[in-house]
Amino acid sequence: MVEFVGLTGYMASGKGELARILQNQGFKYVSLSDMVRKEATVRGLEYTRENLQGVGNDLRIQYGAGVLGMKAREVIEQDLMSNWVIDGIRNPSCIEELRKLSGFQLVGVSADMEILIERMLKRGREGGNNLKREDFLNRLKCEQGIGESPAGQQVKRCLELADYFILNEGSLEDLQGKFDHFLKLSRGEDRPTFDEIFMEIAYTWAKRATCLRRQVGAVIAKDGQQLTAGYNGAPRGVPHCAEMGGCLREKMGIPSGQRHEICRGTHAEQNAITQAAKFGINIEGSTLYCNTFPCVICTKMILNVGIQKVVYDSDYDDPLSKEILGQQHELQLVRYEGKMFHK
């Protein structure tokens, strides 16, 4: 069976290394960035990042946001018997085009912004340019889609659409090992990790959520065994928000991440913890898996019951929760990586 693997991620995230791994395995290579460079040559422009970003945006505005993905797909369709790696995916519409290839899989790779900036500064020093931290920060903001049109670069959204996610904050060997697991898993040569199993269960429980704003699921596990689970919604025996005419927080205009006590619902993490209390299950030293970063109320409960580790997927903007987590040293907070289940 042929394989079509797309790569998305910010500058200095490790996409190039993943592409090289696949090329060494005989994959043919097509780069959306190379297509932009060819167009820049036609226009007589130098290959500066600003020029290339401008050309890419112009092409997407003129021919549609998915034009580069469509062109890459047309190249691949000339040889559907070969395996292909598609690099430089920066817009969701390109992903839409590439998903027309049967079996296409998108791998997202990223790292903490400070790590990315340090890598870019190091590359800059080695390359002899004088770009500063602020320059690279602005480039990352542009790639994230901040201030960009929907037809522009939207790497943050592309990462959210990935079928598999890798956090590249360690050594080259770590990155290669993580990517090797993806390849073996997709080929049926490896089993899912416990993190992948329990995060999939958390996403399954999220389907039971009755919250109108966000569907969250949580699982508490220890030593490879599930202990309890929960999802967010109104307390037992109480009408759901949809039955009460809508979300109370929306009616009151309360922004996300603030005034968590003004809500008819109970959060998934809280429900998982209270289920343990109800049935006398010891969850000290356990791991909590949640498809969303915990709010400050859940964070305080998690710390007090002695949960040892939290594995989360999507971020949640709650500065106080992050501040409290940054002040303690007992709970390990881990960004989930592996097979994604959010679509």
What is the CATH code for 194-335?
3.40.140.10
Structure tokens at 66: 């998915």
Alpha helices by DSSP H, listed for the chain, are 15-24, 32-42, 49-63, 67-76, 92-98, 113-127, 133-144, 155-160, 172-186, 194-206, 248-252, 268-279, 296-304, 319-327
Q: State pTM to two decimals.
A: 0.91
- Going residue by residue through the chain, which has 343 residues, state the pLDDT in tens, using 9 for 90 and above: 899 999 999 999 999 999 999 999 999 999 998 999 998 999 999 988 788 888 888 898 889 989 999 999 999 999 999 999 999 999 999 999 999 999 999 999 999 999 999 999 988 776 667 788 888 888 899 899 988 888 888 999 999 999 999 999 999 999 999 999 999 999 999 999 999 999 999 999 999 999 888 899 999 999 999 999 999 998 888 888 888 788 878 888 888 878 877 777 899 999 999 999 999 999 999 999 999 999 999 999 999 999 999 999 999 888 899 999 989 889 999 999 999 997 5
Distant-in-sequence, close-in-space partners of 184: CB < 8 Å, separation ≥ 6: 190
What are the tokens at 341? 């289940």
CA angle 239, 208, 105 (to 5 degrees): 150
Buried b / exposed e across 196-212, counting CB within 10 Å, b at 16+?
Answer: bbbbbbbbebbeebbbb
The active-site residue out of 143, 148, 200, 269 is 269
Task: Name the CATH topology of 4-187.
Answer: Rossmann fold (3.40.50)
Q: Domain ranges in the chain?
A: 4-187, 194-335
Residue 87, Cα to own-chain centre: how many angstroms? 17
**269 carries an active-site annotation:** yes
Report yes or no: 21 and 176 within 8 Å, Cβ to Cβ. yes
Q: What is the largest CA-CA distance in the chain?
A: 71
